[in-house]
Amino acid sequence: MSEARHLLSINDLGAEGIDEVLRLADTFVEVGRRPIPRVPALRGKTVVLSFFEDSTRTRMSFEAAAKRLSADVMTFAASASSLNKGESLLDTVRNIEAMGVDAFVVRHACAGVPTQVAGWLAGASVINAGDGAHEHPTQALLDCFTLSRERAGRLGVSPARPRVLEGLQVAIVGDVRHSRVARSDVAAFTALGAAVTLVAPPTLLPPSLEGWPVEVSHDLSSVLVKCDVVYLLRIQAERMREQYLPTLREYTATYGLTAGRARLLSPGALVMHPGPVCRGVELAAEVADSPASVITAQVANGIAVRMAVLYMLLGSGTALAAGGANDG
């Protein structure tokens, strides 16, 4: 990705590009531990957070990442913008770019909007922060980063990069159909050598899985006994136009990671979730809070990973030396 201007899809990176992000993120974890967690790497650059859809983690994580690199951050609030006066998205982004913006972090409910925005901009970079049910590349990167670190530390396996997840059995459980996280994670995990099994009721799988390098199961218990990682997805009701489930209670009974079912996991198996978690639906509260859960580590790692992405797209390659000036 060193040469690339945008990050729109995990496929823009491939295994080597993902590895490059993970290596760089390693160095930014150290920056986050400093008393003043800031380096001047992107001083003078401006990043605009353009979230057309709700977000807590992703928006704040990009904001923290940009600030730790000393970039200026502007926030675009779609609900309080001239879009409500009939201005087009095209005019909106071109006007924002005219103010001297270097990167747009774009989240939108429609798949493809970040790619469209990238095509309209003269020079600024676009980072896809989640587009409809299509992709969420930085989530997949922080998930790979979390897995590679947990694996190296907790599971005692040395991170033999670039296929750092080689041999890992990952189960992705839940509403795959509406999940951009699942699409990006499947691409990223398998690029790094993991084997992925999707576990979901047939109605919550994509209509076609052609080209997906995955196995499919409808029997969560039988998958739990042999997986190293179970990755839960939220039921994304906001994207559902029809009834996909009889009841949430039945979903939890069949596909939820309940406390009883979590006991089937082998010792050392990890529980992951991109958040927001609906406790008691896809994941029992006591499992979310158990030592197997790395959900808060995912969030913490997200900042270092997004710093790496911003730096690779906008940085000049200087001002990064460890222990560099904390003067942002």
Applying CB under 6 A, the residues found at the interface with ligand NCD are 57-58, 130, 136, 139, 180-181, 234, 236, 274-275
Nearest residue to the partner ligand NCD, using Cβ: 234
Q: Lay out the sheet containing 103-108: strands in order across.
A: 72-77, 46-51, 103-108, 125-131
Report in angstroms how near the CB of residue 327 gets to ligand NCD at its nearest.
32
Give the residue among 227, 292, 284 at the shortest CA–CA distance from 261.
284
Q: Which is nearer to ligand NCD, 58 or 146 (CB)?
A: 58
Report in angstroms how near the CB of residue 100 gets to ligand NCD at its nearest.
28
Report in angstroms how near the CB of residue 165 gets to ligand NCD at its nearest.
20
Q: Which is nearer to ligand NCD, 57 or 261 (CB)?
A: 57
| Alpha-carbon gap, residue 75 to 66, rounded angstroms | 12
DSSP 69: T
The residue assigned the tokens 């939220």 is 234
Side chain identity, residue 196: V
Report in angstroms how near the CB of residue 178 gets to ligand NCD at its nearest.
9
Report in angstroms how near the CB of residue 276 gets to ligand NCD at its nearest.
6
Report in angstroms how near the CB of residue 105 gets to ligand NCD at its nearest.
12
Give the residue among 228, 21, 9 at the shortest CA–CA distance from 112.
9
Give the residue among 314, 313, 272, 302 at the shortest CA–CA distance from 55.
302
Q: Which is nearer to ligand NCD, 39 or 204 (CB)?
A: 204
| Alpha-carbon gap, residue 324 to 53, rounded angstroms | 36
| Alpha-carbon gap, residue 228 to 13, rounded angstroms | 25
Preceding amide of 162 cis, omega within 30: yes
Q: Which is nearer to ligand NCD, 55 or 116 (CB)?
A: 55
The HSE-up count of residue 227 (CA atoms within 13 Å, CB side) is 31
Q: Which is nearer to ligand NCD, 57 or 218 (CB)?
A: 57
Report in angstroms how near the CB of residue 208 gets to ligand NCD at its nearest.
21
Neighbours of 56 (CB within 10 A): 10
Q: Which is nearer to ligand NCD, 217 or 236 (CB)?
A: 236
- Say if residues 55 and 76 touch (Cβ distance below 8 Å): no
Q: Which is nearer to ligand NCD, 112 or 324 (CB)?
A: 112
Q: Which is nearer to ligand NCD, 38 or 136 (CB)?
A: 136
- Say if residues 199 and 171 touch (Cβ distance below 8 Å): yes
Report in angstroms how near the CB of residue 18 gets to ligand NCD at its nearest.
18
- Say if residues 143 and 179 touch (Cβ distance below 8 Å): no
Both tokens of residue 52? 């057309």
How distant, in Å, are the alpha carbons of 57, 76, 80, 241 from that of 53? 12, 11, 13, 17
